[in-house]
Structures are given as C-alpha cells and as structure tokens.
A and B are shown apart, each in its own frame.
Chain A
Amino acid sequence: MIEIDEKKLIRCPVCEAVNIDRGANSSCRRCGCIIYKHQRFTTQKSWAYLITAIIAYIPANLYPMLTTKQFGSGESSTILGGIVMLWEHGSYPIAMVIFFASIVIPVLKFLILIYLLISVKYPLGKDKRVNKHKMYYLTEAIGPWSMIDVFVVAILAALIHLANIQIIAGTAATAFALSVFFTLLAAHAFDERLIEGRV
C-alpha cells in the first residue's frame, strides 16, 4: 500500500497516463516519455516561440497576401484588405471566416498565451475563477484554424495561373505561416503543469 497525495498526480502529455509528480526529469511510467525535461526553461522557451510568432505576425499583416495579375496589371491585397474587399462584394460569410481565422484567432491566442505565461509567474487577482486548463485546451483546439488563409492562397495560386490572369502568393503568406507555426510551438512548449503553480 502506498499513500499518494491527489494533488501530486499529473497527466502525461503524450499518453495521458496518470503519474505521480516527482519533479524534474520524471519519465512517464507507461510511455517512458520524459515529462518535464526542460523544467526550468519551459516558460522561457514558450516566451521565445511566442515572441517570434508575434514578430512574424506584423509583416504578415503589412505585406500583400496575394497578388492578382490581370492582363499585365497587378493588384496586391493584404489580409485586412482582402477581408474588406470580400465584405464590399457581399461575401459576408467568407469575409467572416477569414476575419476569424486570420485576425481573431491569432490575436486571441497571443493574448491567452501571454495571460497564461504571466499568470504562472505572477498570480493575478481573481485567477481562481478562470479554469486555465480549459483556456489552454481551447487555444490548442482553435489554433490550427488560422492556417485557412494560407491554404486558400496556395489553392488559388495553384488553380489560377493562366497567361492573362495569375494569382501569386505574397510575402505575407510566408510570414503568416511562420507565425501560426511558432504559436503552435509556443502552446506545445507551455507546460500545463505550470498552470497549477506546482513548479
């Protein structure tokens, strides 16, 4: 018989087995994955990825996402410009989808991650009322959807390259894809155990 403190139980992020928290370098009893190898660096790593993502998000919004070349004349549009254009043409649902995927979700994800990263270091007031695990779960679930605009540009560029009309992906596509990629990395690097403040 062994006595275990229920608060010392953690979930393996890889195989979901319940483990006893042994602090640094404990490996999962079922899958053997090291649960907290970079224990001391978790927030730093997550911060680094997050800041890279935010920096990449700036050119993603400033540079053109796609360029339409029609009979020799080119027309570029940024993410925001594209949304406005769609809205003016009356494609409201698509404008909303792109707006959510390219603006709302990335910004929301930045804010939630910043909040979580700050709140694990400096406990904020009223913290108890928010289920931070649920918040984290939500960002993980909705995060990938921000790739929509990059995929759309890739599809349009592949589909439309005729002699007279061409759609070419813009610099922003690279920046945006990088931003999404680093946000996902930041979320994955974020140690869920930090939320409980057990470090």
Chain B
Amino acid sequence: MKLENEDALDHYIICRQCHTLHEEIPIREGTKACCSECGGVLYRYDSKLAEHGLALSISGLILFILANIFPLVQIEILGHEQFITIPKTVLSLFESGFYLVGLICAFLVFIFPLMIFLIYSVLFALLKMEKGEKIIKDLLVLLSHIMPWSMSDIFFVSILVALVKLIGYAQIHMGVSFWALIGFVVLDLYVTRNLHVYEMWMLRKRIFFKERENDRD
C-alpha cells in the first residue's frame, strides 16, 4: 500500500468490531458507511453535525437535571409513603456504610453521565464556533476515556427490575424524574450510537485544515 505521507492515513478506518481496514469514501448526507465484513457502522455523514450535536447535548443536560431533582418513583407501603431520587439512592448507600459501592454508583450513574453531556455541549459549541483546536483535542481524548463508564441505561433497567420486584408489596407511582430519565437514556443511547467520536475528529480536521489552507492563500 502506497501513501503520500502519514497524514493520508486519515482516509482509512479500521472497523471497531472486527478490525478490518477500509478506505474512507465520501457518502451522501444522512447516510452511513458499514463494514463489508461484519456490517458494523464505520461512520456517518452529517453536514450539520455540530448543530445537531449541540441541540441534542443541551436537551440531554436539561433532561439529566430534571431526572436528578424530582422524585423518581414513589411507593406506598403499609400506609407509609416513600420516594427516591437518583442522588438519594446513592446517598443512602453511604448512609448505610457502603462507601465503596456508593462511590462506584455515584460515578457510574451521576458523575460520568453528567461529565459526558457537559463535554459534548462544550465540544459541539466549540466546533460550531470553529475555535479551540487544542481544547477540542483534549476534550475528545477525555470523552473517549470516560464513555465506557457511563451506565445510565443500565441504571434505568435496574429501576424497572426493582419496581417489578415490589409489585404486590407496595403501590407504585412514577415521578417526574422517571419520565425525564427515560428521555435522557434514549438521548444518551442515540448520541453514543450516532455521534461517534470518529466523526468529531473528522469534523475537527475539516474545520481547522480548511482554515489553515485559507491562511496560506
């Protein structure tokens, strides 16, 4: 395989599922390129990536805040009413002496999801303004490191499991946060599936290399 220089490797992509090497080809707006070996998505093309990403990540942040301040579920058991919020769930672990589990849960369901959406918002805002080449790079690296550790979706399924366990013992009412959390989880899944860091690196290159070439002219 012959290349002009090392930077030309940017036109290649290795499938993240099966590690087959592919050459990147231009694709139509709104479509995706899939791996010929395993069918996994390689990349998508969206000319309004920054705008879409910004809108999605800010909605995500709003939903996350809503999901954290209102009661998640409320139960009625033997005439007593109890409700939980996400922070309360984590805090009650600390209160009963489970510091380690509490800490792990705090990071997995609160700190990391919040950080991810904050980083997304800043990233897309910077990409939109076409500023901060260096910060974008650092944020993208940080994002890749914490992405695998965000578990909002798993936490949501856990709530469902816990509620099913309680059917028959208690009366259950869903709180505002429950619906906000559904929204957040759907958004989170959509964003992690569809706005891949790979596309953000490509967008960064398109923006700042174009700029550099303009400077030269």
Contacts and interface: CB of A to CB of B under 8 A. Distances in A.
Interface of A: 1-6, 9-11, 14-20, 29-33, 86, 91, 93-94, 97-98, 131, 133-134, 137, 140, 144-145, 147-148, 150-152, 154-162, 164-165, 168-169, 173-174, 177-178, 181, 184, 188, 192, 195-196
B186 interface: no
Given A158-B92, A177-B101, 6 more contacts: A3-B2, A16-B14, A32-B141, A91-B165, A137-B16, A177-B100
Contacts, number: 177
B77 interface: yes
B155 A133 contact: no
Interface residues on B, range: 35 or more
B140 A15 contact: yes
A97 B161 contact: yes
Interface string B123-157: 00000000000000100110011001101001101
B12 A162 contact: no
Nearest to B159: A155
Interface string B77-97: 110101110001111110010
Given A1-B3, A2-B5, A147-B151, A157 B92 contact: yes
A154 B201 contact: no
A169 B158 contact: no
A157 B96 contact: yes
Interface of B: 1-7, 9-10, 12-14, 16-19, 21, 38, 73, 75, 77-78, 80, 82-84, 88-93, 96, 98, 100-101, 104-105, 108-109, 137, 140-141, 144-145, 148-149, 151, 154-155, 157-159, 161-162, 164-166, 197-198, 201
Contact of B89 (A1, A17, A20, A155): A155
Contacts of A192: 19
